[in-house]
Chain A
Amino acid sequence: MTDFSVEKKILKGKSFKFGDDISTDLIAPGRYFHLRSNMGELAKHVLEDADPEFAKKIKSGGFVVGGKNFGLGSSREHAPTIIKIAGAGAVLAKSFARIFFRNCINVGLPALICDTDKIGEGDLLEINLGEGTIKNITKNLEISFSPLPEVMVKILGDGGLAEHVRKNRGFNL
């Protein structure tokens, strides 16, 4: 099985559910463009247009759980970055938009592709990144997620792309 060397291999927390097609405009709205140089401030508005209370709710940890095509739209890396800063341990979705998915790995936020219909709002989840499984404790269900490509495992294992390139003075994939 894939071995992630991220800080915690087992993550535990509550699910916060969102629908299909959650765009980066919903995650990091353009009207806060001027806060992009102040990621902590921007994180206070994360997903605000989908759930105005979300930034408060996620403070004590948990997971963002979406439907299909999560993160479509702009290339703004600020989107996954503020999800991470706000307190989420991972993003789970049935599918991800390409740039958002790549950005998640680059900033060290696990993005897991799985059947999110098996997860309800507020369900308690235990994610084992090493084994590739998600335990839905509330529903007493086991959910598997698709393994990441080996290059992404390496990047995530190094703590993100910037750290990977700093350490290796180039790609070592």
Chain B
Amino acid sequence: MEKTISEKIISRHSGRDAGAGDIVVVNIDVVMAQDGTGPLAVSQIEKMEFDKIKNSSKSIFFIDHAAPSPKKELSNTHKVLREFSKKTGAAISEVGKGVCHQILIESYTCPGDIVIGADSHTCTSGALGAFATGMGSTDIAVGFVLAKTWLMVPETVKVNFNGKLNSGVYAKDLIIYLISKITSDGATYKAIEFAGEASDGFSMDDRFTISNMAVEAGAKTGIFNSDEVTRKYLKKQGRENCYREVTADGGAKYENVVDIDCCSIEPMVSRPHTVDNAVPISKLDKTKIDQVFIGTCTNGRLSDLKIAADILKGREVASSVRLIVAPASRNVFVKALDEGIIKTLVESGAAILPPGCGPCVGVHQGVLGDDEVCLSTQNRNFKGRMGNPNSFIYLSSPAAAAWSAVKGYIADPREVLSK
């Protein structure tokens, strides 16, 4: 049988000739939880009466969602993770190291892997050609102790990105456009395979942004095939030996094929309170903003910070706006320091947070006030997401976020990039 990427990876991990609709038990390569979901996973492991984990070198707990801890209750849950890690040998990624998904792609995920994580944006690793998907704490607890999970092999939607992106238009705009087109449940239970001539030219950072948001269309995972770009990315991290070729068969069956003409896409903005409530930025009428956040597992990588810094260089953030920036990881932070990016951002008026999830989860570091409006580079804008149900979140690319921070309202980055 000719197979999709997901069918191939799942077949290899289940020892069966698996096709869409089959239910299989698979071996997993990487399993992780974060500080919001990890403590429950730990208590479920105890409830299941297991005291060992199966594969400690690729079992990781991340302290990133509320890091450093803003409350004693959270400090105590962090202690639970540290103690469990000490007891079992599970890796722990401490305060300041970065967002779980970023650390996975920097250090753990290999092409062809199955990655499961107690965080919905685990699909980010799909950009490396892995079958990566989010689950709840109990599924992850089982993953920790058995290094296995059960899966229904998903049908696949193939998305072809054709043509070239215009100046001022980025991977973030593409994925927001796609979600607005297929809607927030357009790919529920399905895998998305990203392909097309444009996607061959995407950098790894572009691919991570796109895979990261696959779940915003309901997808189980969002996968790219591996190629030279993947190999070079792994080589840069000293992980070239884990490169594997991951591609779909020519005759693979797709549930649906969506063709996107990149040339026709404008910078996009998701409006409150769903990601698929999106419009081209030019359709918005100078929407005033109180806060801009640049960071997260979606857009907190080096190229994102550089795009923002290039726009902010020699300019000042509007006096009515707070600009908050969080590098996605310590590696990103160090490189951004080396390249002078952080200096530029700080000089323009940005407040820099430690690597981590920052205000995206609504716990700390930039909770919105009543009626306040935030433009963020994160992946989600649900009501209450940033800690206050009486606030409003718009989503955009880092370029639009940076230029809007200067203007004080949601503004089209092509105004500054075409100069």
Contact = CB atoms under 8 A, between A and B. Distances in A.
A173 B22 CA distance: 13
A38 B77 CA distance: 11
B139 A102 contact: yes
Contacts of B388: 31
B48 A162 contact: yes
A77 B188 CA distance: 18
Chain A interface size range: 35 or more
B109 to A, nearest CB: 17
Contact of A29 (B65, B66, B362): B362
A134 B337 CA distance: 61
Contact of A99 (B134, B185, B367, B385): B134
Most buried by A among B77, B145, B150: B150
Interface stretch (A56-64, A65-73, A83-91, A136-144): A65-73
A98 interface: yes
Contacts of B138: 77, 103, 106-107, 160-162
Contacts of B174: none
Interface string B373-390: 000000010111111110
Contacts of A69: 184-185, 188, 218
Contacts of B40: 36, 77-78
Nearest to A103: B136
A26 B274 CA distance: 12
Interface stretch (B68-76, B325-333, B348-356): B68-76
Contacts of B150: 151, 171, 173
A75 B118 contact: yes
A21 B382 CA distance: 9
A98 B218 contact: yes
Interface string A13-34: 0000000010101100111011
Contact of A25 (B65, B134, B137, B362): B362
A6 interface: no
B415 interface: no
Nearest to B145: A165
A72 B150 CA distance: 21
B39 interface: yes
Contact of A161 (B77, B142, B362, B384): B142
Nearest to B71: A34
B207 interface: no
Given A30-B385, A34-B73, A162 B37 contact: no
Contacts of B142: 161-162, 165
Given A75-B134, A77-B40, A171-B146, A29 B389 contact: yes
A102 B133 CA distance: 12
A10 interface: no
Nearest to B33: A75
A30 B393 CA distance: 14
A33 B136 contact: no
A151 B49 CA distance: 22
A135 interface: no
B362 A30 contact: yes
Most buried by B among A23, A73, A77: A77
A37 B75 CA distance: 11
Interface of A: 21, 23, 25-26, 29-31, 33-38, 49, 68-69, 72-78, 95, 97-99, 102-103, 106-107, 149-151, 160-162, 165-166, 170-171, 173
Q: Which 9 A-B pairs have the closest CB atoms?
A: A30-B362, A77-B136, A103-B136, A34-B73, A69-B185, A23-B382, A49-B389, A25-B382, A166-B48
30 contacts: A26-B384, A29-B389, A30-B361, A30-B362, A30-B384, A30-B387, A31-B367, A33-B361, A34-B66, A34-B73, A36-B39, A36-B40, A37-B73, A37-B77, A49-B384, A69-B185, A72-B185, A73-B382, A75-B119, A75-B135, A75-B136, A98-B220, A102-B139, A150-B23, A162-B44, A162-B47, A165-B145, A166-B47, A170-B146, A171-B146
